[in-house]
């Protein structure tokens, strides 16, 4: 159950005070994160608290459930050396989600290997 | 089954039951192999499970599972991509031939996987950056991952012994006919139709026809080589040949 990761990402993304819309955006991202943990966190007290907490915060701040979401960056786990994230995002996903694109500035191109398993 | 490892070793293995092919920080692949003919040590793959692990802002954890006669064009949860994160489309499933060929593109780790059903069995092929291959979580427990280190010695089948027996006719039944319908010569001729170069793909085709009598294995070897052409990064290494007694590659005939 990775509910604590959702909590810490939410708090990291809201640590600096900003306009209310930004808070709603972060809250929606938090809600998405919590929903993704539903299967593994069933019965976990922190998970159920987060669920109720999000609902309360959404109504207190008049946030709609639909709308843009942010993906907090501050505390995402460090990627391996050649998968360094880039702050620039493209329409089909952040730079760090494109292995080859994220290597453009590396000195040598990656080596690819192959494995096959077939027959009897 | 026949295994071509990440380091281009070619082996024929027993590996009956569930065996892991790949396991690293980003994904795990496991196969289940069942005997092709009762009493024979030759097995083929009837189940395949791939788990793509949760990765940063890109993809949720996704599982792909295929079995004989069930080659879905979707992950186990019914989705075709990496979920609802920003980079979800950097993991996606593409159905190339319904029920026969599926490609999984995991761009966030520079990886492409091809899964096929040929006859009654599954085949697997992958292209993966070295960096991802070597991103192992526990170096002490990497021995069993077949794509990385090959099959354990006690699971390997000696091609040459098997072939020598076939040539001498040791495999013949009491009636004088081969047990599963192919003589060595007939198997050679059949495999030559699809695999004109007598490399290890050709040899594995001959082995499969002799051990199973199932002509579909000709196509398994053929498509395995097609996958090599699509996925291998070095054209000079597409074909690999049997090593001689001194460990060097035999010259192509």
Comparing alpha-carbon positions, the chain A residue that sits nearest to B84 is A32
Q: Give the strand pairing for B101-106 and B111-118.
A: antiparallel
**A76 pLDDT tier (thresholds 50, 70, 90):** very low
* 3-state secondary structure at position A65: coil
> What integer pLDDT is reported at residue A72 of this predicted model?
38
Query: What ipTM, to 2 d.p.?
Result: 0.92
DSSP element (H, E) containing A6: helix A3-13
CB-closest option in B56, B86, B208 to A120: B208
Query: Which residues, 6 or more positions from B81, have their beta carbon under 8 angstroms from its beta carbon?
Result: B88, B89, B91, B92, B93
> What integer pLDDT is reported at residue B76 of this predicted model?
97
Query: Which residues, 6 or more positions from A105, have their beta carbon under 8 angstroms from its beta carbon?
Result: none
* Cβ distance of B22 and A115 shorter than 8 Å: yes
Local confidence pLDDT in tens for the 253 residues of chain B: 999 999 999 999 999 999 999 999 999 999 999 999 887 888 999 999 999 999 988 999 999 999 999 999 999 999 999 998 989 999 999 999 999 999 999 999 999 999 999 999 999 999 999 999 999 876 656 678 999 999 999 999 987 777 777 777 654 444 444 556 899 999 999 999 999 999 999 999 999 999 999 999 999 999 999 999 999 999 999 999 987 644 455 544 4
* Cβ distance of B110 and A112 shorter than 8 Å: yes
* 3-state secondary structure at position A2: coil
Helix axes A3-13, A45-60, angle to 10 degrees: 30
**A107 pLDDT tier (thresholds 50, 70, 90):** low
**A102 pLDDT tier (thresholds 50, 70, 90):** confident
Query: Which residues, 6 or more positions from B151, have their beta carbon under 8 angstroms from its beta carbon?
Result: B3, B11, B13, B14, B15
> What integer pLDDT is reported at residue A65 of this predicted model?
76
Q: Cβ distance A46 to A34 under 8 Å?
A: no
> What integer pLDDT is reported at residue A77 of this predicted model?
37
Q: What is the mean pLDDT of residues A41-45?
A: 76
Query: Distance (Å) from the C-alpha of residue B213 to the closest C-alpha of chain A?
Result: 11
| Biggest CA-to-CA distance, chain B | 66
- Alpha-carbon distance A118 to B11, whole Å? 11
Q: Cβ distance B94 to B101 under 8 Å?
A: no
Q: Tell which wins on pLDDT, B102 or A20.
A: B102
């Amino acid at each position: 159950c990775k509910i604590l990761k959702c909590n810490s990402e939410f708090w990291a993304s809201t640590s600096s005070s900003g306009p209310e819309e930004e808070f709603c955006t972060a809250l929606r991202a938090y809600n998405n994160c919590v929903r993704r943990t539903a299967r593994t966190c069933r019965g976990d007290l922190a998970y159920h608290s987060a669920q109720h907490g999000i609902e309360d915060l959404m109504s207190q701040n008049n946030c709609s459930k639909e709308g843009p979401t942010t993906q907090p960056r501050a505390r995402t786990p460090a990627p391996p050396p050649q998968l360094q994230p880039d702050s620039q995002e493209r329409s089909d996903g952040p730079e760090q989600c494109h292995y080859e694109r994220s290597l453009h500035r590396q000195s040598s191109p990656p080596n690819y290997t192959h494995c096959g398993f077939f027959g009897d | 089954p026949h295994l071509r490892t990440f380091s281009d070793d070619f082996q024929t293995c027993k590996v009956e039951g569930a065996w892991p092919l790949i396991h690293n920080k980003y994904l795990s692949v496991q196969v289940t192999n069942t005997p092709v003919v009762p009493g024979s040590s030759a097995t083929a793959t009837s189940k395949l499970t791939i788990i793509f692990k949760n990765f940063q802002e890109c993809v949720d954890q996704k599982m792909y599972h295929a079995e004989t006669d069930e080659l879905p064009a979707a992950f186990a949860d019914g989705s075709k991509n990496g979920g609802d994160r920003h980079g979800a489309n950097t993991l996606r499933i593409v159905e190339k031939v319904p029920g026969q060929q599926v490609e999984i593109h995991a761009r966030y780790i520079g990886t492409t996987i091809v899964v096929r059903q040929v006859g009654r069995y599954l085949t697997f092929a992958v292209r993966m950056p070295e960096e991802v291959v070597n991103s192992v979580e526990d170096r002490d427990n990497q021995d069993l991952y077949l794509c990385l280190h090959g099959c354990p010695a006690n699971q390997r089948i000696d091609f040459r012994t098997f072939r020598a027996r076939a040539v001498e006719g040791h495999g013949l039944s009491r009636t004088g006919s081969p047990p599963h319908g192919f003589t060595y010569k007939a198997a050679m001729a059949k495999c030559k139709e699809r695999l004109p170069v007598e490399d290890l793909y050709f040899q594995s085709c001959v082995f499969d026809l002799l051990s199973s009598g199932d002509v579909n294995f000709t196509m398994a070897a053929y498509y395995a080589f097609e996958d090599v052409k699509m996925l291998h990064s070095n054209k000079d290494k597409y074909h690999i040949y049997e090593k001689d007694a001194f460990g060097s590659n035999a010259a192509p005939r």
